[in-house]
Amino acid sequence: MPESADDILSIDRLWRRFRRWKERPRTLKDAAIRLVRREGVAYDSFWALRDVSFNVRRGEALGLCGANGSGKSTLLKVIAGIVPPTYWRVVVRGRVAAFLELGAGFHPELSGRENIALNGVIMGLSEREIARKTDSIIEFAELGEFIDSPVRTYSAGMYLRLGFAIACHVDCDLLLIDEVLAVGDAAFQQKCAAWFDALRARNVAVVLVSHFLPTLAEMCDRAVWLDGGEARAEGEARETLQRYCPYAVLPPRREVRGA
């Protein structure tokens, strides 16, 4: 697949291996005992991603579908730079922001406000940028007085709103979303849809993982079907999703208002 400068993301023959430990020396004591008994450490490995290649153009929305354990989340984490590739190459030509599992990246003992600052810092914002955006994030999250409570006291919906509000305030060229939007209420879903439109208008590319195929069909231009770590099919979103699940009833791609 030829790369071009118009691609925000190029994944080229990507492999990722994980170790599967049989009996792992979790402690120094175990390791010492194994050493004395001259036992080796037993593990085999499995490939979570095998030879995956695709490109995403600027402003394009790509959906990832596939069964549990097919490598979708691993793929997102490799794209986000959290998990390094084992072999071959991932190139991102712009800023990435990731909105992965619920509550990830939040410190449970810190308040919502402190977590906003921390998240801003790990997304590489300067302190001035964070200070400027904090009020707007708080307003967007609609957490009221809970913003100064420790986030361990939050409900799933509150976690979601806070994480989402932060993700919305990061200027990025590529956004990664993993299966988190489903726990929001109706008002939240509407907010999401409006946000997606705004992203498209700003030419931000999106890679979206979901098991809810109608959402993928509605939101995405293209889709990739992962199966056992391999890309089984890739192409126009509805066509690909239909191949993955022939019985699914899929809505058409949503038109963007005012675009």
Partner 1 sequence: MSAVPDFSEYRLEGAADVWAGWRARLTLIKHLTRRHLAERYRGSALGFVWSLLNPLLMMLVYSFVFRVVMRAQIPGVRYEAFFLTGYLAWNFFSVGAQNAASSVVEGRYLIHKARLPHVALPLAAILSNLVNYVVVLPLLLIFNAIFGVRLGPSILLLPLAVLLLSALTVGVGLILAGAAPFFRDLLQVSGVLFTAWFFATPILYHLQYQLAPHVSPAMLLLYEMNPTVGATRFIQAVFLNEAMPWREIAYSFLGAIAFLAIGILSFGRLSKRFFEAL
Nearer to partner 1, 77 or 191 (CB): 77
Binding residues for partner 1 restricted to 127-166, rule: CB under 8 A? 127
The binder of partner 1 chosen from 64, 98, 206, 231 (CB under 8 A)? 98
Residue 77 half-sphere exposure, CB side, CA atoms within 13 Å? 16
Nearer to partner 1, 56 or 90 (CB): 90
Query: Is the distance from CB of 236 to CB of 200 less than 8 angstroms?
Result: no
Binding mask 12-51 for partner 1 (x = CB under 8 A): -x-x--xx-----xxxxx-x------------------xx
Nearer to partner 1, 12 or 221 (CB): 12
Which of these, 49, 162, 172, 170, lies nearest to 104 by C-alpha position? 162
Q: Does 78 bind partner 1 (CB under 8 A)?
A: yes
Q: How many amino acids of this chain bind partner 1 (CB under 8 A)?
A: 48
Nearer to partner 1, 110 or 192 (CB): 110
Query: Is the distance from CB of 200 to CB of 169 less than 8 angstroms?
Result: no
Query: Is the distance from CB of 208 to CB of 64 less than 8 angstroms?
Result: yes
User: Taking the C-alpha atoms of 99, 100, 102 and 106 in order, what is their torsion angle to the nearest 10 degrees?
Assistant: -70
CA–CA gap between residue 173 and residue 44 (Å, rounded): 38
The binder of partner 1 chosen from 85, 158, 166, 222 (CB under 8 A)? 85
- Could you give phi then psi for residue 208, rounded to 5 degrees? -120, 130
Nearer to partner 1, 89 or 136 (CB): 89
Which of these, 50, 48, 58, lies nearest to 10 by C-alpha position? 58
Q: Which residues bind partner 1 (CB under 8 A)?
A: 13, 15, 18-19, 25-29, 31, 50-51, 77-78, 80-96, 98, 100, 104-107, 110, 114, 117-118, 121-124, 126-127, 173
